[in-house]
Amino acid sequence: MSKTITRVRDQFPILQRSINGHPLHYLDNAATTFCPDTVLDKVYEFETGYRANVARGVHRLAAEATDAYESARASVARYINAFDPSEVVFTSGTTAAVNQLAYSLGESIAAGDEILVSMIEHHSNFVPWQMLCKRKGAKLQLIPVDENGVLDLSNLSSLINERTRIVAVTQASNVTGEMPDLGLLAQAAHQVEAKLVVDGAQAVPHGPVDVQALGADFYVFSGHKCYAPTGVGVLWGKGALLSELPEFMYGGGMVERVTPAGTRFLETNQRLEAGTPPIAQAIGLGEAVEWLMMLPWVDIKTHEAKLLGRLANELPSIAGLRVLGPALEGARLPIVSFDIEDCHPHDICHLLDQRAVALRGGHHCAQPLMDALDVMATTRASFAVFNTDADVDALLEGLHEAVDFLR
């Protein structure tokens, strides 16, 4: 194991765990991942040092909590290269952020308008738009996939037209690790003045993002998939667009003046953060992205490519195994889904769990993609910055043993 990865691993206390006498081989990072020491310490520091509500009190703890919360916002802005921290809105996660957009952007959607999503979306970036279309009498257009589950953008011009108002796509598939050509999608969306919403839930843990270079109008992600606590996420919007976005929830912390006759809202992004936000979690997220910005990404990417290369070479030795999605090389994430003839993913996951290999088996909240691939479920191994060759060894040995047992 390289020194870089050893140093990274040493920062995750949970990796000391063993199950059934085996060291933990955690390969379910696309579902959620762990927090390094520095994030745990930061949350502990808040809880024991300056726990207070934000943007309300004037006492010392309230001021310190507010400073830490706003500093987390600035860290997130740097990590995703937002133009300004005021473009960052904290939510409870990706799902909450997409729903917020589907309601607020959705206010201007009219019957006959079109919203374009893709067949590789997580349900969180599919169902809110489908429901919006239903509410407004709009049409949901779908970017199809080929027989491997890879997005087929060849007919994009026939899917986008002057009625298209929103294009909502993922930066990376949580099932196959595919990274769609967002440049092409941004260009096509902007040609007809549609807004591009990008789901960054899977991409954000794999290195700093540049929302401006991506051409996104809105960008969403969750903390728990990028080494931060659960219960926090981000909705980023381009300054001018965010300031035009109607309020979604109403309550404390987002108003300037309330009278029985009516309410005037704040003009800042706090207008979109009604109620007490996830303070400890957001502060943890700020620390997580600071930590991510310190990682040696060139080394980590080389290491990930090596692990994927091993899977590309060694998975085919399992008879009846089919890897879904794009080739296990090039511009993609280390998220690998496969189908093994006559072996149900739940059985595979259960058997590998006996060896402390944590995988995910199921539809991965991507049933449109499962249907297109004509499978009910897949087995998925998803890698984080702390995974090693030992995890790949345990996965491969476990798969061989499971397949022998099940057939």
So which residues are the catalytic ones? 365
CB-wise, 55 or 336, nearer to ligand PLP?
A: 336
Closest distance of CB 199 from ligand PLP, Å: 5
Signed CA dihedral, 113, 119, 120, 121: sign only: positive
Minimum Å distance from CB 263 to ligand PLP?
A: 29
- First-to-last alpha carbon distance for the chain, in angstroms, is 34
Q: Which amino acid is at 32?
A: T
Q: Which is nearer to ligand PLP, 202 or 379 (CB)?
A: 202
> CB 145 → ligand PLP: shortest distance, Å?
15
Amino acid at 80: I
Q: Which is nearer to ligand PLP, 4 or 230 (CB)?
A: 230
Strand pairing of 18-19 and 22-23? antiparallel
The residue ranges of DSSP E strands in 286-348, in sequence order, are: 321-324, 335-340
Percentages helix, strand, coil for the chain, rounded to the nearest 5? 45, 20, 40
| Closest separation in Å from C-beta 326 to ligand PLP | 16
* Residue 59 vs 346, nearer CB to ligand PLP: 346
Question: For residues 11 and 99, which CB has a smaller minimum distance to ligand PLP in the complex?
Answer: 99
Contacts of 340 (CB under 8 A, 6+ apart): 318, 320, 321, 322, 348, 379, 399, 403
Q: What sign does the CA torsion over 58, 60, 65, 66 have?
A: positive
Q: Which two tokens stand for residue 138?
A: 């709009």
Residues with Cβ within 8 Å of residue 141, at least 6 apart in sequence: 114, 115, 116, 117, 159, 160, 164
Q: How far is the CB of 221 from ligand PLP (least distance, A)?
A: 8
CA distances from 130 to 39, 123, 124, 150 (A): 36, 10, 10, 21
Q: Which residues bind ligand PLP (CB under 6 A)?
A: 30, 93-95, 122, 124-125, 170, 174, 199, 201-202, 222
Q: How far apart are CA 404 and CA 140, in angstroms?
A: 44
Query: Under a CB-based contact definition with an 8 Å cutoff, are residues 177 and 336 in contact?
Result: yes
Q: What CA–CA distance (Å, rounded) separates 49 from 56?
A: 18
Q: Is the Cβ–Cβ distance between 253 and 270 less than 8 Å?
A: yes
The residue (of 53 and 230) whose beta carbon lies closer to ligand PLP is 230
229 or 398: CB nearest ligand PLP: 229
How many alpha carbons lie under 13 Å from residue 312 in its C-beta half-sphere?
Answer: 13
**CB of 33 vs ligand PLP, minimal distance in Å:** 11
Give me the least distance between CB of 93 and ligand PLP, in Å please. 3
Q: Please tell me the distance from the alpha carbon of residue 100 to that of residue 287, in angstroms, as a whole number.
A: 25
Query: What gap in Å lies between CA 267 and CA 252, rounded to an integer?
Result: 14
